[in-house]
Amino acid sequence: MKTRYGNVDFSHEDSHNDGLITGLLLGAAIGACAAILFAPKSGKDTRDKIKDFAGKKAGKLERQWENIKDKAGKAAGDAKNAFDSTVDETESKINDFADKAENEIEDGAETAADRFQNKY
């Protein structure tokens, strides 16, 4: 696609960078697990350490999930309230406009009738 800033090619996927990032993250996770497993501690100590670590992370993830759910619920409620307010305001303006138009039509009809009667 040609733009005023030059040619832009949206068909090229940057999968090389995605693969690189995924590989780095996976390598870091595997390295952390290997470091814990090969540490000079007993198996029970290592398992307890892994269990404690996983429990802490699970608790943290649960708190973050609840926080995200609360924020999403609040944002949805705020959006609904804003939408309802806009609908109410629009409905009010439309009704005001319709009333004004009706009054103008009635006034115009009365004026036309008066002019007609005065002329004939």
* pLDDT tens digits for range 97-117: 999 999 999 888 888 888 888
| Alpha helices by DSSP H, the chain | 15-37, 43-119
pTM assigned to the model: 0.43
Burial class (CB in 10 A: 0-12, 13-18, 19+), 97: exposed
pLDDT digits (tens, 9 = 90+) for 50-107: 888 888 888 888 999 999 999 999 999 999 999 999 999 999 999 999 999 999 998 8
Residue 53 CA to residue 70 CA, distance in Å, equals 26
Please give the Cα distance from 19 to 21 (Å, whole number). Answer: 6
Quote the percentage of the chain above a pLDDT of 70.
Answer: 84
Q: Report residue 91 as tokens.
A: 């409905």
